[in-house]
Structure 1
Amino acid sequence: MVTPHMHRSVIRTPDQRIRVFVSSTLRELAVERAAVKAAIERLRLAPVMFELGARPHPPRELYRSYLAQSDVFVGIYGASYGWVAPDEEVSGLEDEYNLAPATMPKLIYIKSTEQRDERLADLIARIQSDDTAAYLHFETADDLQDQVAGDLATLLAERFDESRIDGDAEESAASLVGRIPVPYTTTIGRDRDIEAVRNLLARGTDRVVSLIGPGGIGKSRLAIETAFACEDLFPDGVYFVLLEGVLEHGLLLPTIAYHLGIRDNGEAALEERIAHALAGRRVLVVLDNFEQIVDAAPVLVRLYTVAPTATFLVTSRIVLRIRGERVYEVPTLSTPPDNAPASLDRTTRSAAVALFVDRAQAIDPRFDVTGDNANDLADICRTLEGLPLAIELAAAKVRILTPAGIAQRLGQSLPLLTAAVRDLPERHRTMRATIDWSVSLLPDSQRDLLEDLGVFATRFTLDAVEALGHGRSWDGQTIDALAALVDGSLVKQFEMGGRRVFSLLAIVREYSIGRLKARGDAARVRVAHADYYRDLVQRIAPDLGGPGQADAVAHLGLELPNLRAAVRHLVYTNRLDDAGDFAWSLLIYWWISGFFAEVRLWMLELLEKQHEQPISQHTRAIAWFFALWGEMWQRPSEQVVAGLGECVRLFTESGDADAAAMALAARATARVQLSDPDADKAEAELREAVVRLREHGNHWAEAITEVSLGRLAWVRGSTADALAHFDRATSVAEAGGDLFTTSVAGNLRSRLNFQLGRFEAAEHEFLRTLLLSVRLHYEEGIAYGLEGVCAVAAAHGEAWRAAALAVSAGVIRRRIGIFDVEAFTVHTPYLDILRGRDPASVAAGEAAGAELTVAEAVLLALPESEHEAVAEALRGW
């Protein structure tokens, strides 16, 4: 049966984006395709563009699948009708239009041209008589971009009105759907399981509900569908934490923090921040693929102990065996009983047969259960024991085999294959054998590619795959081989951040890396993987401190799983100096995104291995710098100060004066954290670091160190010096295009100006830094900006607005775990005064502020004249 969420309203939140299929001839209309893609992304929708279709004729079944996953059809037609492949009657261009469902909105754009292929002219004439399609002519790519954006906006507005009339209860789903992955295919046969797990979660007596079963049984899909079904139970949000690729126990907390939106700057223990972020909130945290770090399960007990309203839904192949755990054994799909054939009646089919038919119809829409194949389909599903992934792999073979051929080959191969892996539990053996069988049908080059893909973590791009191909058997065949693996359901593909990315299911990745190790190639492919991502980092890192900062951070965020894997490969293969350089080149990224805890873990592992493989002084300095960063804030001591002093010496002796100056600034910061700080010594070191960093052209570190000097001067009561340092920090950051440091310095400068009574200047910069934080998607900065505008509003006597902004900022603070005392708070004294003067307005504002979304709070803070300018950026919230 189809799960309920598949029939929801057409309006979706930004992360469950409406998908727009784009049809065109690839080479002739490359510029126009780019323009349409930009228009779609401008509206925060997802373009569906088969870029692998740079081949003359993309597989018909693949773009059929793309269409099935899309919501809107956009056709761009020029002069060319496109290539007609052998044994085909129409080109891919016309075929895509024919395959688009009648109910799908179609927007057709026809480029003005003096000549047009006759068959394309006939197609356009047919479209013009189709009352389900709208068409317009265009002259240039710029015109096209504006037309598409306007038409899509109008279409969405119309659909929004329809959804409101329909009364579908989707509008309150933003906190849930924004973080839960949306399945690209129908979920079949899980209604009872979803209801059962929902009932367990609704009782509220079990802190951890574990979905247990072998790989391929559908644990992740069940967790996703259950999360969708439990929106009403967890009004404060549902978070989906993918643990695939997280192999070190120490990475559990950093990964949870990342998905909760908590930035780890090292200033407080992550467990403490997470506990604070979850405290008092009814949230569900889904932890997918927990089995690889099951020894870290006691961490969940500590978290739910301090945050008793939070619940954890875990998927794992093995039981966690912790207090508060309720186990739900995920069953297989039902199969035809005994020796009965598959039912010809859709309403009485077993779930396993229904799944096979659904996936087969994605390849051949005419496929169904018939009197001729009913027995074979039943045999297939029984042989595969109702395992969903095994059934999907078998169904993918209908493009080359009949059901009888699939049943025969499974009957011959599976018993032999399962006998070869008797060290595994029964259903694990069946799943492994099915993958073996599916892979055995591939040509050698495709089989080799699948095994090589096992080195990637979670997801990967076509460029990355091609970089691994040099000298491999599939070199030069990447696009065709990868498309074939997608066709065979062994590789998944999807859009992420406007890019086409690919992934392997966890069990397929395990299979692939196991085969790679067995043939003795794992080390060589890991080297190629690490080299590709090391080169990628070297290309991107220079942008982190300048105008390309926002794009660089976003790009690295998409690659984070493979950055982790690359460091792991470098450390594992004893390329310790390369690992150190890799980590150091991304210092700004770790700082902006908050990943110091995991970098510390890698660097401690590196230091432990130095007895196996000697490391350079420079690498030792890097490793100790990252290892001491968190200690500096959380457990400051003279030993930490001395350790950072040793980093200064090692960097200096290795010839890296720039890094030595950064370590000097860190040592000065560590001095300030001591219970008996030497402020004079710290200030002298910070000033010296600024001079050195300026000399070496490290403007990012120079600006950050000026911020530290400003904070120190403020704490010491020298507001004029503090303001001067914040002015210089802002000037240096702005000149270098460093938006993040501009935001941090500007926020501090505006607070100080407010404290000095310069309300107008303060308000101007509060608004400016708030806009910067929205652009950077930096929630901590947004909280500070809202508090700043709150202070100005309170000073002007705007009780309701000030109270609403204060509470909204507080909600953000709690949600992302910012609980440390803010030394430079300026809004609370004025708000307290208003609370005494106008308690009713303050109380009403506080009640309203608790209900505001981030976007609504930002709009409340900004003058109306700024609303239009920030509207597009706020669509992502």
Structure 2
Amino acid sequence: MTGVRHPVIRTPDQRLRVFVSSTLRELAEEREAVRAAIERLRLAPVMFELGARPHPPRELYRSYLAQSDVFVGIYGSSYGWIAPDEEVSGLEDEYNLAPRAMPKLIYVKAAEQREERLAGLIARIQADDTAAYLHFERAEDLEDQVAADLAMLLAERFDESRLAEIDPPEAGGSLVGKVPVPYTTTIGRDADITAVRDLLARGTDRVVSLIGPGGIGKSRLAIETALACEELYPDGVYFVLLEGVLEAGLLLPTIAYYLGIRDNGEAALEERIAHALAERKVLIVLDNFEQIVEAAPALVRLYNVAPTATFLVTSRIVLRIRGERVYEVPALTTPVGHAPASLDPDTRTAAVALFVDRAQAIDPAFGVTADNAGALADICRSLEGLPLAIELAAAKVRILSPAGIAERLGESLPLLTAAVRDLPERHRTMRATIDWSVSLLPEEQRDLLEDLGVFATRFTLDAVEAIGSGRSWDGQAIDALAALVDGSLVKQHDMGGRRVFALLAIVREYALGRLKARGDADRVRLAHADHYCRLVKSVAPDLGGLGQAEAVARLGLELPNLRAAVRHLVYTNRLDDAGDFAWSLLIYWWISGFFAEVRLWMLELLEKQHEQPITQHTRAVAWFFALWGEMWQRPSEQVVAGLGECVRLFTESGDQDAAAMALAARATARVQLSDPDADKAEAELRAAVTKLRELGNGWAEAITEVSLGRLAWVRGATDDALAHFDRATEVAEAGDDLFTTSVAGNLRSRLNFQLGRIERAEEEFVHTLLLSIRLHYDEGVAYGLEGVCAVAAAHGEAWRAAALAVAAGEIRRRIGIFDVEAFTVHTPYLEILRGRDPASVEAGEAAGAELTLAEAVHLALPASVYAEVADALRTW
């Protein structure tokens, strides 16, 4: 049910009206149940008491429907009477006359036989993307179901009503990959947006690169173009922020992260991304590519294996790769010659309009006058129409008049640009403008800005205060940060319920350069790393149990700075600290799928061990992460031996816990070999479980029990497999480990289904689906939907089963899960239904392809259960 702009509905105290369609005699009891549900919510039922009959004129039907806000249809076995001279019954006529935009809730009662024309009507409704379609069996079940659905519909419409009036705030991890919404007006870029959109619409260029100096507005142009191109890319537009990504090897992991692909190491990321993008017409924006321009060849490989994907890149330098179309981003127009700024807003140049807009955010009374028009024109010309430079200058109207700003720029810019002759012209102007803007700050605020350069894309006040010990601004962080925000040098917004701050890339680059020149960079980097080490130490214990979902979400918000912290630790030769940092977050890397990134850091660590000796424990950690992907993608006896060396190093360093986990990994590696030794692998897994149980590591014990269960299932020992899955679930639930409970529960439910225990399997599928939603775990949601699909197929619900199968498949494709699922249970039953009822299966598959994730979950879950996760799904 996508693609429909829902109407904003009235509040309950304005008596929202619900039209009820049904056959009166057959469904009298059900009609009363629906009436009770509507009145329970203090809404008004619109029920034509003669039933759905053709005698009344259509104008009367239309009148009833015109007064209604929601359509509820109840269908049983009977199609209803067709009057003389009519082609359809009143039941179908009511549905036909309901406006397409009207929300429709359809309830179909279970029946052994259904009249053929009613079956045809229901099939048509199933394919209608404006109708929600649910089954029920008894009238007493219907009241609660309808009440819950109406309440949910109200909540969704009120949310949409609010969002239609205000800009939605950024919500954190749930919005990863979405195009950011600009917080200020975009001025003077209409022609550029049209030009770049036209380039993309031609479809002849695989990469369109927006090229220009820092501060010229490449990112803003990319954002606005992406928003203007959404209809060109029906399969999605993704925004990948490369700011803070400094290693070329992190390009693919970063793209995967923003696409929602979990890197569990089981396949090469390039393959997963290619699979996720296969036959999908998507636009991927790669912002700030200049930092890793040497990774450009990987982009060529990517677009070769994903021929329907297009890339929009922002960079200060040309990528120089095949398939690239370069668009030079121009500066904003400025008054020509020595002309003053126009007093007429309609003839004002873009640069002046931008200055006025940003100045009015500080002083609403600000405007262009005969007295300041000349100064405004001089400001915009001296800043060469660079948007960021103009914004920085406009921020000074708080303390200076336009004439004062123009005078100081005229004195400072020539001197400052002369000092940086090694930069291209507009780079010099932008750098000089930042220098000038910073020079007007008190010393403490200048020092704070420079120190902020060590942070990644965003940071919190707590983090700022944590690095302030001994700095000139120590104890003044709040006021100094507020002043930098006022000066447009620092941006602020809300994310995940927290106030966060950010520097633009060029300002961060400037700040870090000043910090290095002062000789303080390493000192502040260490303070940054120490803060995030403390943060990780406080959060990591929650990853294995109670508070797991919250811990994963918290670390997700901090991910850019976690990356920066590891980089600082490795760069400053605190290699053992880097190893401890990476190992303490093992569960987070596992759940969220960041093994490729960690592997890159650990390989860099191993290369530096000649400069700075490392402990055996650190060496074991580094090799463990380095071998993880090899174990799945390129299994060999050498990998098995390498993990055996990790077992030895962990053991000799006294970490029996880590040694047991490495032993379990070695057993898994044995199973991946072309000639696996299953007996030896099982023995190692059992030994690891015993040791982990002794040590009280419930998370690792449970996940290892899952491995034992999978191995037993593959070997045909289903009783043993169930016992291991039961034990894994028991241990995981005891420790409030949602992730492993979901993984173990999903496998156990599939095996129970395969063994014919349908009802028990259904309960478990629903439970694990709910857990996966709480964890924001796409892969688990796909498995859960497939499980419910299997149950629906076993019950003969062809349309529902087919819709769920396709919806789950869409999730699998989107996140790049393409490896063969050895434990699939839903496809055989679905194929049986395809032979029995091909029309319903075909209609279900068509509908499933259009379902949003929330709609698919709604279709899978009972209404009362769906209400538990509705809020979480709204921001998915």
Structure 1 length-normalised TM: 0.81
Partner of 1:606: 605
**Corresponding residue number in structure 2 for 1:810:** 809
Alignment of 1:33-48 (within 5 A): none
Rounded to whole Å, the distance in 1 between the matches of 2:863 and 2:344 is 60
In the alignment, the residues of structure 2 paired with residue 876 and residue 719 of structure 1 have an alpha-carbon distance, to the nearest angstrom, of 39
Partner residue in 2 for 1:476: 475
- The amino acid across from 2:726 in the alignment is D
Shifted more, 769-778 versus 313-322: the winner is: 769-778
Q: Distance in 1 between matches of 2:531 and 2:692?
A: 30
Residue 375 to residue 152, structure 1, CA distance change in 2 (3 Å): farther
User: Map of 1:300-311 to 2, 5 A cutoff?
Assistant: 300-311=299-310
Number of equivalent positions: 723
Q: Which residue of 1 aligns with 2:574?
A: 575
Structure 1 vs Structure 2 CA RMSD: 1.9
Shift of residue 868 of structure 1? 2.2
What is the CA-CA distance between 1:696 and the residue it aligns to?
0.7
Matched, 1:540 2:539: yes
1:782-823 Cα deviation digits (max 9, x unpaired): 110111111111111111111111111111111110000000
Is residue 518 of structure 1 aligned with residue 522 of structure 2? no
In 1, Cα distance between equivalents of 2:846 and 2:222 = 34
Q: Residues 163, 578 of structure 1: CA spacing in aligned structure 2 closer, same or farther, 3 A cutoff? A: closer
The match for 1:424 is: 423
1:606 CA displacement:
0.3
Does residue 341 of structure 1 match 2:320? no
Question: What is the aligned partner in structure 1 of residue 688 from structure 2?
Answer: 689
Instruction: State the one-letter code of the partner of 2:229.
Output: C
- Aligned pairs for 1:107-122 within 5 A: none
Matches of 2:665 and 2:330, distance apart in 1 = 54
- Hey, what's the Cα distance between the residues in 1 that align with 2:507 and 2:716? 61
State the 1:649 CA deviation. Answer: 0.3
The residue aligned with 1:221 is 220
Q: Matched residues in 1 for 2:451 and 2:152: separation?
A: 41
TM-superposed deviation, 1:867? 2.7
Partner of 1:414: 413
2:827 corresponds in structure 1 to 828
CA distance in 1, matches of 2:156, 2:762: 36
Deviations 1:301-341 (A, max 9, x none): 11111111100000000000000000000000000111100
Cα deviation digits, residues 644-685 of structure 1 (max 9, x gap) = 000000000000011000000000000000000000000000
Q: Distance in 2 between matches of 1:360 and 1:666?
A: 60
Q: Is the 8 A contact 1:576 1:613 kept in 2?
A: yes
Hey, what does 2:495 align to over in structure 1?
496
Amino acid in the other structure paired with 2:359: A
Output aligned runs, 1:111-190, within 5 Å: 157=157, 160=160, 179-190=178-189
Decide whether the 8 Å contact of 2:176 with 2:258 is kept in 1. Answer: no
Deviates more, 1:861-870 or 1:243-252: 861-870
Give the match's secondary structure for 1:502. Answer: strand
Q: Shift of residue 865 of structure 1?
A: 2.8
Question: 1:866 and 1:9 mapped to 2: Cα distance?
Answer: 24
Q: In structure 2, what is the equivalent of residue 742 of structure 1?
A: 741
Who is 1:673 aligned against? 672
State the secondary structure of the residue aligned to 1:494: strand
Determine if the alignment matches structure 1 residue 782 to structure 2 residue 781: yes
Q: Give the counterpart letter for 1:720 in structure 2.
A: D
State the one-letter code of the partner of 2:777: Y
1:468 and 1:529 in contact (8 A); partners too: yes
Given that 1:9 and 1:163 are in contact with CA atoms closer than 8 Å, whether structure 2 keeps it comes out as no
Assess if the C-alpha contact under 8 Å between 2:177 and 2:259 holds in 1.
no
Alignment partner of 1:763 is 2:762: yes
Runs (5+) with no aligned partner, structure 2:
9-150, 168-173
**Which residue is 1:650 aligned to?**
649
Q: What corresponds to 1:699 in structure 2?
A: 698
Is 1:283 matched up with 2:282?
yes
User: Partners in 1 of 2:604 and 2:263 — Cα distance?
Assistant: 20
Letter of the 2:184 counterpart: T
Shift of 1:873: 1.9
Is the 8 Å Cα contact of residues 152 and 867 (structure 2) preserved in structure 1? no
Q: Partner of 2:178: helix, strand, or coil? A: coil
Aligned partner of 2:660: which letter? A
The ranges of structure 1 where at least 4 consecutive aligned residues each deviate by more than 2 angstroms after the TM superposition are 8-11, 151-164, 175-178, 867-870
Paired position in structure 2 for 1:723: 722
Kept in 2, the 8 Å contact 1:462–1:501? The answer is yes
Q: Between Structure 1 and Structure 2, whose CA radius of gyration is higher?
A: 2
Show CA shifts across 1:622-651 (max 9, x none): 000000000000000000000000000000
The residue that corresponds to 1:145 in the other structure is none
Displacement after TM superposition at 1:300 (Å):
1.2
Task: Describe the shift of the 1:846–1:153 C-alpha distance in structure 2 as closer, same or farther (beyond 3 A).
Answer: closer
- Equivalent position amino acid for 2:632 in 1: W
Change (3 A) 1:665 1:461: same
| Matched residue, 1:752 | 751
Instruction: Report the Cα offset of residue 765 of structure 1.
Output: 0.3
Q: Structure 1 stretches of 5 or more lacking a match?
A: 1-7, 12-150, 169-174
Partner Cα separation in structure 1 for residue 708 and residue 317 of structure 2: 52
CA distance in 1, matches of 2:313, 2:871: 36
Alignment-derived partner of residue 449 in structure 2: 450
1:446-498 Cα distance to aligned partner (Å, 9 max, x none): 00000000000111000010011110000111100000000000000011111
Go from structure 1 to structure 2 and tell me whether the alpha carbon gap of 1:186 and 1:152 turns closer, same or farther (over 3 Å shift).
farther
Structure 2 Cα separation of the partners of residues 158 and 505 of structure 1: 35
Contact 2:175 2:875 in 1 (8 A): no
How far residue 872 of structure 1 moved from its aligned partner, in angstroms, is: 1.5
C-alpha distance in 1 between matches for 2:553 and 2:563: 16
Q: Distance in 1 between matches of 2:731 and 2:701?
A: 8
1:778 CA displacement: 0.8
C-alpha deviation, 1:753, in angstroms = 0.2
Instruction: Write the distance in 2 (CA, Å) between the matches of 1:690 and 1:714.
Output: 18
* Structure 1 residues 162 and 450, CA gap change in structure 2 (3 angstroms): closer
Tell me how far apart the structure 2 counterparts of residues 316 and 162 of structure 1 sit (CA, whole Å).
36
Kept in 2, the 8 Å contact 1:245–1:458? The answer is yes
Contact 2:857 2:866 in 1 (8 A): no
Aligned twin of 1:590:
589
CA distance in structure 2 between the partners assigned to 1:787 and 1:156 by the alignment: 26
- The answer to whether the 8 Å contact 2:632/2:669 transfers is yes
What is the match of residue 260 of structure 1? 259
The answer to whether the Cα contact below 8 Å between 1:177 and 1:228 also exists between their aligned partners in 2 is no
Once the 2 structures are TM-superposed, how far is the Cα of residue 153 of structure 1 from its aligned partner?
11
Report the CA distance shift for 1:813/1:475 in structure 2 as closer, same or farther (over 3 A): same
Query: What is the deviation of 1:156?
Result: 8.3
> In 2, distance between residues paired with 1:423 and 1:594?
42
In 2, the alpha carbon distance for the partners of 1:153 and 1:739 equals 29
Write the distance in 2 (CA, Å) between the matches of 1:435 and 1:465. 21
Q: What residue is the counterpart of 1:391 in the other structure?
A: 390
Q: Distance in 2 between matches of 1:678 and 1:212?
A: 55
- The answer to whether the 8 Å contact 2:413/2:436 transfers is yes
1:775 CA drift (Å): 1.3
Question: Separation in 1 of the partners of 2:384 and 2:408?
Answer: 16
- Aligned with 2:209: secondary structure? strand
Q: TM-score when scaled to structure 2? A: 0.81
* Distance in 1, Cα, partners of 2:411 & 2:857: 64
Letter in 2 for 1:537: V
Secondary structure in 2 matching 1:297: helix
Contact 2:177 2:239 (C-alpha < 8 Å) held by counterparts: no
Does the 8 Å contact 1:714/1:722 carry over to 2? yes
Q: 1:277 to 1:771 in 2, by over 3 A?
A: same
Deviation at 1:159? 8.3
Paired position in structure 1 for 2:234:
235
Q: Which amino acid aligns with 1:574?
A: N
CA distance 1:370–1:497, change in 2 (3 Å): same
Q: Could you say which residue in structure 1 is the equivalent of 2:852?
A: 853
Partner amino acid, structure 2, of 1:775? R
Distance across 1 between alignment mates of 2:797 and 2:437: 68
Pairs within 5 Å for 1:25-36: none
Counterpart of 1:35 in structure 2 is none
